[in-house]
Amino acid sequence: MVDGSRVVAGDVVIGLNSSGLHSNGYSLVRKVLLDDARMPLDKKVDEFGCTLGEELLRPTKIYVKIIKKICAEYKVKRIVKAIAHVTGGGLIGNVPRVLPGDVDVVFHRDSWEVPPIFELIQKTGGIDTHEMYHVFNMGIGMVIVVPPFYADAIVRRIRRMKWGAGIIGRVVGGRGETRFD
């Protein structure tokens, strides 16, 4: 069973890209972009390649096929130690749920590209970066924790499945929290 209990300092955090907002933070998005800024839903936004409305309604990616495939390929070795679906609570709120109490995850903030929708929300609303990572997925929809020896191979396998992924952090001694370097 993948329950996070085997996560140790030195493990590596792999992030699977999100397709956008998914289903989280829409109350804040509505307030910032629609109520306060009065941005029209039918206006094309060059950074999105579509209208604001289309971007806000972009379908959520489903991760089950990729996760099942990775877990099945390494079933005997059980290298997938933890899985966190980045939902309400963002990276800051979801990842600690799968960590033992004696480790933290340190995210490398510059290791993935934050999609333009999040930058628009933050800039338009003057929202603090910490709050953004607490409310939204910020471009990472799923996180898996694996031993460092397997991390690059797993990222390559995920990318061969036509999915964006990369090493986005590391596990260090701590208290079951997340932070950024």
- Whether 41 contacts 136, CB under 8 Å: no
Ordered domains of the chain (ranges, CATH): 12-23+60-114+124-180 (3.90.650.10)
pLDDT exceeds cutoff 90 at 18? yes
Q: pTM to 2 decimals?
A: 0.95
pLDDT per residue as tens digits for the range 72-82? 988 778 899 99
pLDDT per residue as tens digits for the range 163-177? 999 999 999 999 999
Sign of the dihedral defined by the CA atoms of residues 64, 70, 71, 72, in that order: positive
Q: Which helix (H) or strand (E) holds 52?
A: helix 52-56
